[in-house]
Amino acid sequence: AREIHLLAYPAGEPQPGDFTLVERPLPEPRHGELLIRNQAISVDPYMRGKMTGKRTYTAPYELNAPMEGRAVGVVEVSRDPDFTEGTVVLHDAGWRDRAVVGSGHVRAINVIDAIPVTAHLGVLGMPGRTAYVGLFEKARMRGGESVFVSGAAGAVGGLVGQLARLRGASRVIGSAGSAEKVDYLVNELGFDAAFNYKDGPVVEQLSQLAPHGIDIYFDNVGGDHLEAAMAVANPFARFALCGAISGYNATEPQPGPRNMALIVTKRLMLQGFIVTDTSDATADFYREVAPAVADGRLKFRETVVEGLENAPEAFISMLRGANTGKMVVRVGT
Ligand code: NDP
């Protein structure tokens, strides 16, 4: 198998030299194991946190070992009667082209013709569930509320804005890092307004686009975005704190918002969450989102990088904003 290993924990922005491609033979699958040929693997922002060498809410990656990550693949050899060879599956042995995996850690994918299997790494997978859980269960968004989401042109953010529209938000505002992404949000995903956070202070751009304030903020970015959302928030606004990507490559702890006192005076609710704590929500998520994706009411995009050897570059460039929608790496057929 060909595998990407981490050679060193990056300081600051990861560099291609922090990773290496290793080729090594796989063991024969034993009873209860499957040999899986990966079709596509996921690179996600949370992986940066596993490259620090410290335990956060998950264990860090080990150096000189294959990294974990979500992948979709095909069962080539099965030693479990519940999985026939040829079944398309979702599992955690990503960052490689083949793997032997215990069948208890593998889930068969319900393949729908209209939807590429890679959607299970994005809109129908962990990022999609994150959008759903954060918006509806954590921020408890209701119809008639105005919603702001940062990182809006990414895998999670693009779905947050569209779900808010479907549930009857009064106004949906997004921020992203380029003019093309702003155009995509407004003209393809149906956001009411969007801005490029690189064009000027977030607080100024947000207040202009939200003259009546915001009731819900879905935070993917942290930093100046969080501070701006607190400044523009209406009393009793509810924030789902999903991620803080603006600080993921920082070498020092990042300062908090300077306007923290607004949490008290505006009676704000800020709720952090980790999607893997909330498996109960999966059934609702899938029931509501899968049909809407299949019939086009919910749109999604993927940025596809070809070749396992390019996975480190895909990961590094995703952190810089090279993706619109979900960043995936195609590693085989
Ligand atoms: P995305 O598809 O959104 O990709 C990351 C994006 O982040 C880039 O495309 C880039 O877009 C943006 N970005 C990078 N640096 C900055 C910056 N300094 N300021 C603003 N934006 C920046 O990734 P995901 O949708 O997978 O994840 C989005 C967020 O959700 C992340 O914070 C992630 O950690 C979090 N997350 C949390 C989960 C949980 O359980 N709590 C689960 C899954 C994800 P741009 O061009 O707009 O800058």
Confidence of residue 283 (pLDDT cuts 50, 70, 90): confident
Q: Is the pLDDT of residue 43 over 90?
A: yes
Q: How far is CA 27 from the centre of its chain?
A: 32
Architecture of the domain spanning 126-277: 3-Layer(aba) Sandwich (3.40)
pLDDT in tens, 52-96: 999 988 899 999 999 999 999 999 999 999 999 999 999 999 999
CATH code 3.40.50.720 region(s) in the chain: 126-277
User: What angle in degrees, to the nearest 10, is found between the helix axes of 223-232 and 202-209?
Assistant: 40
Which phi and psi (to 5°) does residue 26 adopt? -100, 150
Q: How far is the CA of 103 from the centre of ligand 1 (A)?
A: 31
Distance CA 126, CA 155 (A): 10
Distance CA 260, CA 28 (A): 56
**Strand, helix or coil at 279?**
helix
Confidence of residue 111 (pLDDT cuts 50, 70, 90): confident
Distances in Å between the Cα of 221 and the Cα atoms of 46, 117, 230, 249, 304 are: 12, 28, 13, 12, 23
Range with lowest mean pLDDT among 100-104, 111-115, 144-148? 111-115
Q: Is the pLDDT of residue 278 over 90?
A: no
Q: How far is the CA of 242 from the centre of ligand 1 (A)?
A: 9
Nearest ligand 1 atom, CA 130: 42
pLDDT in tens, 223-258: 999 999 999 999 999 999 999 999 999 999 999 999
Q: Is the pLDDT of residue 280 over 70?
A: no
Residue 331 · residue 308 · CB < 8 Å: yes
Find out whether the beta carbon of 243 lies less than 6 Å from any atom of ligand 1: yes
Range with lowest mean pLDDT among 176-180, 238-242, 286-290, 324-328? 286-290
Confidence of residue 281 (pLDDT cuts 50, 70, 90): low
pLDDT in tens, 145-177: 999 999 999 999 999 999 999 999 999 999 999
Nearest residue by C-alpha to atom 34 in ligand 1: 243
Q: In the structure encoding, which two tokens stand for residue 18, read together?
A: 């922090």
Find out whether the beta carbon of 162 lies less than 6 Å from any atom of ligand 1: no
Q: What is the pLDDT of residue 258?
A: 98
Find out whether the beta carbon of 154 lies less than 6 Å from any atom of ligand 1: yes
Nearest residue by C-alpha to atom 31 in ligand 1: 243
Nearest ligand 1 atom, CA 273: 41
More confident residue, 114 or 19: 19
Class of domain 2-121+302-330: alpha beta
Sign of CA dihedral 120, 124, 126, 127: positive
Q: How far is the CA of 319 from the centre of ligand 1 (A)?
A: 7
H or E element at residue 171: strand 171-176
CATH code 3.90.180.10 region(s) in the chain: 2-121+302-330
- Show the 3-state SS of 209-256: HCCCCEEEEEECCCHHHHHHHHHHEEEEEEEEECCCHHHCCCCCCCCC
Find out whether the beta carbon of 97 lies less than 6 Å from any atom of ligand 1: no
Nearest ligand 1 atom, CA 324: 9
More confident residue, 131 or 286: 131
Find out whether the beta carbon of 122 lies less than 6 Å from any atom of ligand 1: no
Nearest ligand 1 atom, CA 178: 46
Report, as an integer, the average pLDDT of 191-203: 98
Q: Is the pTM for the entire model greater than 0.90?
A: yes
Report, as an integer, the average pLDDT of 209-234: 98
Q: How far is the CA of 151 from the centre of ligand 1 (A)?
A: 5
Q: In the structure encoding, which two tokens stand for residue 106, read together?
A: 């593998």
**Strand, helix or coil at 174?**
strand
Distance CA 151, CA 170 (A): 20
- The conformational region for residue 102 under phi > 0 = left, psi -120 to 50 = alpha, else beta, is beta
Distance CA 198, CA 126 (A): 28
Question: String of b and e for 192-214 (b: at least 16 CB within 10 Å)?
Answer: bbbbbbeeeebbebbeebbeebb
